A and B are shown apart, each in its own frame.
Chain A
Amino acid sequence: MFDLLFLGFGEILNLKILLVIFIGVVVGVIAGLIPGFTVAMAIVLTLPLTFGMEPVTGIAAMIGVFVGGMSGGLISAALLGIPGTPSSVATTFDAYPMAKKGQPGKALSIGIWASFLSSIVSLFILVTIAPQVSQFALKFGPWEMFALICLALTIIASVTGDSIIKGLIAGLFGLLISTVGADPIMGFARFTFDLDVLRAGIPFLVVLIGMFAISRLMQSLEKSQLEKDRLERLNEDASEMKFTLKPFQSLKKVISKPMTLIGSSVIGSIIGAIPGAGGSIANIVAYDQAKKWSKEPKKFGTGCEEGVVASEAGNNSTVGGDLIPTVALGIPGSAVTAVLLSALMVHGITPGPLLIVDEPNIVGGIFVAFFIASLAMLFTQFAGMRVFVKITQVPTHILVPIILVLCVVGTFVLNNRTTDLYILLAMGIIGYLFTKYKYALAPAIIGVILGPIAELNLRRAFMTDPDWTLFLSRPISLTFLVLTVLSILFTIWQTINAKKKAQA
Chain B
Amino acid sequence: MGELIVALALVVLSFLIYTQSGDLPSMNESQLDAGSFPQFVAILLGGLSLILAIKQTIVLIKARKQNSETSIKQQLLYIVKEHQLVFITLALLFIYILAIQLIGFILSSILFIIVTAMVIGPRMKKSIVTVSSIAIILTISLYFFFQSVLQVRFPTGVFF
Contacts and interface: CB of A to CB of B under 8 A. Distances in A.
Interface residues of B, number: 68
Contact of A401 (B6, B31, B113, B149): B113
B86 A418 contact: no
B81 A223 contact: yes
Given A188-B34, A459-B30, A166 B52 contact: yes
B109 A405 contact: yes
Given A169-B52, A428-B90, A176 B154 contact: no
A129 B10 CA distance: 40
B101 A190 contact: no
Contacts of A418: 97, 100-101, 155
A418 to B, nearest CB: 5
Contacts of A395: 121
Nearest to A192: B20
Interface in A189-216: 190-191, 193, 214
B97 A422 contact: yes
Chain B binding surface, main DSSP class: helix
Interface string A336-352: 00000000000000000
Nearest to A226: B85
B24 A169 contact: no
Contacts of A462: 30-32
A161 B86 CA distance: 23
Interface stretch (A24-32, A33-41, A70-78, A429-437): A429-437
Contacts of A185: 30, 34
Nearest to A459: B32
Interface in B13-57: 13-14, 17, 20-21, 24-25, 27, 29-38, 41-42, 44-45, 48-49, 51-52, 55
Contacts of A429: 90
Given A51-B150, A405-B112, A458-B32, A398 B97 contact: no
A62 B37 CA distance: 33
Given A169-B10, A186-B34, A462-B30, A404 B93 contact: yes
A413 B152 contact: yes
A165 B120 contact: no
Contacts of A437: 2-3, 6
Contact of B34 (A190, A405, A463): A190
B90 A425 contact: yes
Interface string B125-147: 00100110011001100100010
B90 A172 contact: no
Contacts of A463: 29-31
Given A52-B149, A191-B17, A397-B122, A218 B134 contact: no
11 contacts: A176-B38, A176-B42, A179-B38, A190-B21, A190-B35, A397-B116, A398-B131, A402-B134, A402-B138, A406-B142, A459-B32
